[in-house]
């Protein structure tokens, strides 16, 4: 393998990184071509239009992670069961073009009869493992459906999903609470103090079903201005997610995601007296590169 | 007072009961004229159109409870603070027509700097107190915004709101979970077993943010059919509400509301080993009648 094309193909966006054999990112591209925008059968054409030039390079290999491997994606890559290390993912790649274009499987984890799933986050976790030299950690990947992942001796032992971002959006846009708020978060702006207030209340309460109503009453009694309410509500949902975690003292917590969101989680975790480190989207590229390194030498030889 | 017109004027509906001096309901009327459908200034006309004939009766008194006493209602009746007995409500009636047409105030309760409010439920609680001869109990009024009320020595000591019905509707209609479900609950039908499964999972978990996602994964892995998902989700949100309650052994729990909803709560509470009794909407009429009894004899004399 002289070059790796690392692709993160999710529900709403398509990102690619062109990497050299040493794992350096040479160039990146982003397209608004998430799998929801791609009709069945159209995947090869979209792929070629976006990355065809890179794939002309002799010996280039492409690995993709994310919803592209789901039933609605290009090629279904059945879930791997936990515990799983990245060698397990490498061994279970689904090949669109054998040895050339592969899809990383997602992970499934079952707890007391209830299954949980992820697609894409497993690759970010193994990337963080590479970048930070981790073997044991708790990792959180905040988002529409946040994932909390337990890594032990380099393998994902278990994980669980929290619909935090989606609950925020539902409450922000469609609930009675929306009536007290500015129409957009841009109008409202960030209010760190209100955010921390929300986190603190959630951490000492028992359910978002109850704390969410305080958004209404604090507004009704004019204790919080309308512009502070979105940040307060964000604190309530993120605080609820953190309240629900069992975190032993001295647990190493790693937050993977965008700058803005990982900072919010870091400041919320500080209210639980947990120190966390942040890592950005490069984790995906590092994860795909690490998986590529495990492929047989016949795929990895220089062109 | 020869007759009492008891009115429950809420956000989306208007109900009235015509009662004799002994507290018997002689006739009831229901209109789709909740306060959201009434323009400011239109309240007297709507009232007259709905109940004018009854109010012609000499000596008739009308008491109203619910959102009619809010800022968006006919006449704002400022909140009473807890603890409060029904004499306190009677003493703080807001009179549209002095001695003739009055509005029962709502209640406010503040816990660690976070206010909570109710309008209408306080009247139902005092009605249940009359009907069941209660002095000490925990009462739950399920709904869009469920209320949990602690009654001690005949007074409401504290209460808290859970946005259970609203969360269900948001998840049912607007979330990713909706995609796996039939469009309407009528199509789906009730599935008691799935409901109980949802309650049981919620009771042993820590947050709806996590358990809600199981609606998706159980569907993904074909462990629950699409028709069972709405009942399962209903179990998750009601179970979450129950998980968050502190209920000492031997607490007397009273559920006030419609037949269908109180039965669901009763069966969910049974999974927490709590025995509960149910009471219907007549609690509102009994509550308004009890408040009317405390009015001065100049109002209460026979016509």
Distance from CA of B164 to the nearest CA of A (A): 6
Q: With CB atoms and an 8 Å threshold, state whether B209 touches A237.
A: yes
Give the full edge-to-edge strand order of the sheet including A155-162. Answer: A155-162, A146-152, A137-141, A253-256, A276-279
CA distance B163 to chain A (A): 5
Contact A218 B114 (CB under 8 A): yes
By CA distance, what is A214's nearest residue in B?
B114
Determine the pLDDT at residue B302. 41
Q: Which of B112, B160, B223 sits opposite A210 (nearest CB)?
A: B160
> Does the beta-carbon distance from B209 to A163 stay under 8 Å?
yes
For residue A296, what pLDDT is reported? 63
Q: What is the pLDDT of residue B303?
A: 36
pLDDT band at A59 (very low <50, low <70, confident <90, very high): very high
Residue of chain A minimizing CA distance to B114: A214
By residue count, chain A amounts to 303
Is 90 exceeded by the pLDDT of residue A141? yes
Q: Residues of A with CB below 8 A from B209's CB?
A: 162-164, 167, 208, 237, 240-241, 244
- For residue A206, the chain B residue with the least C-alpha distance is B244
Structure tokens at A56: 């002309």
Can you read off the two tokens belonging to residue B215? 């609606």
pLDDT for the residue B300: 46
- B117, B176, B208 member nearest A208 (Cβ): B208
> What is the pLDDT at residue A300?
46
Radius of gyration of chain A (CA): 21
**What is the C-alpha separation between A260 and A257, in angstroms, rounded?**
8
Instruction: Kindly tell me if the per-residue pLDDT of B60 is higher than 50.
Output: yes
Question: Does the pLDDT at position B299 exceed 90?
Answer: no
> For residue B74, is pLDDT > 60?
yes
How high is the mean pLDDT of chain A?
Answer: 94
C-alpha A191/C-alpha A226 separation (Å) is 11
* Averaged pLDDT of chain B: 94
pLDDT score at B296:
64
Tell whether omega for the bond before A83 is within 30 degrees of 0, i.e. cis.
yes
Whether A166 sits inside 8 A of B175 (CB atoms) is yes
Q: Is the pLDDT of residue A298 over 90?
A: no
pLDDT at A189: 81
Task: Report the complex ipTM.
Answer: 0.94
H or E element that contains A150:
strand A146-152
Do residues B8 and B289 make contact, with C-beta atoms less than 8 angstroms apart?
A: no
Q: Beta-carbon neighbour count of residue B200 at 10 Å?
A: 15
CA separation for the pair B66, B118 (Å, rounded): 8
CB contact under 8 A, B117 and A220: yes
Comparing CA positions, the residue from A220, A235, A239 lying closest to residue A179 is: A220
* B115–A244 CB contact, under 8 Å: no
Q: Which of B114, B208, B243 sits opposite A201 (nearest CB)?
A: B114
pLDDT tens digits, one per residue of A228-240: 999 999 999 999 9
Q: Judge whether residue B293 has pLDDT over 50.
A: yes
pLDDT, tens digit, 9 for 90 and up, residues B219-275 = 999 999 999 999 999 999 999 999 999 998 778 899 999 999 999 999 999 999 899
Q: Where do we find the tokens 């590092």?
A: A286
With an 8 Å Cβ cutoff, are A244 and B206 in contact? yes
Is pLDDT of A93 > 80?
A: yes
DSSP state of B136: S
Spell out the domains of chain B, with CATH numbers in brackets. Answer: 3-134+282-300 (3.30.420.300), 162-279 (3.30.420.310)
CB-nearest to A117 from B204, B217, B244 is B217
Task: State pTM to two decimals.
Answer: 0.94
The percent of residues above 90 in pLDDT, for chain A, comes to: 88
pLDDT at B29 over 90: yes
* Residue B15, both tokens: 């109900």
- Distance, in angstroms, between B1 CA and closest chain A CA? 36
pLDDT of residue B265: 97
């Amino acid at each position: 393998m002289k070059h790796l094309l690392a692709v993160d193909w999710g529900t709403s966006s398509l990102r690619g990184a062109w990497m050299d054999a040493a794992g350096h990112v040479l160039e990146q591209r982003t397209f608004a071509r998430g799998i929801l925008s791609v009709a069945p059968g159209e995947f090869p054409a979209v792929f070629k239009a976006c990355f065809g030039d890179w794939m002309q390079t002799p010996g280039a290999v492409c690995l993709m992670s994310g919803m592209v491997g789901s039933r609605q994606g290009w090629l279904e890559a059945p879930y791997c069961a936990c515990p799983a290390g990245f060698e397990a993912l490498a061994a279970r790649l689904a090949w669109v073009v054998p040895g050339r274009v592969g899809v990383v499987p997602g992970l499934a984890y079952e707890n007391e009869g209830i299954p949980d799933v992820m697609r894409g986050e497993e690759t970010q976790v193994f990337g963080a493992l590479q970048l930070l030299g981790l073997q044991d950690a708790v990792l959180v990947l905040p988002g529409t459906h946040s994932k909390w992942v337990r890594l032990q001796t380099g393998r994902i032992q278990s994980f669980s999903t929290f619909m935090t971002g989606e609950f925020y959006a539902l409450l922000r846009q469609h609930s009675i609470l929306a009536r007290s708020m500015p129409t957009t978060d841009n109008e409202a702006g960030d209010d760190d103090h209100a955010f921390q207030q929300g986190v603190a209340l959630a951490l000492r309460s028992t359910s978002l079903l109850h704390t969410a109503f305080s958004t209404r009453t604090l507004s009704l009694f004019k204790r919080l201005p309308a512009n502070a309410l979105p940040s307060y509500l964000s604190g309530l949902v993120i605080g609820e997610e953190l309240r629900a975690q069992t975190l032993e003292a001295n647990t190493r917590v790693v937050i993977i995601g965008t700058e803005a969101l990982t900072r919010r989680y870091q400041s919320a975790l500080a209210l639980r007296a947990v120190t966390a480190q942040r890592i950005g989207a490069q984790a995906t590229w590092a994860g795909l590169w690490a998986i590529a390194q495990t492929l047989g030498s016949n795929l990895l030889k220089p062109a």
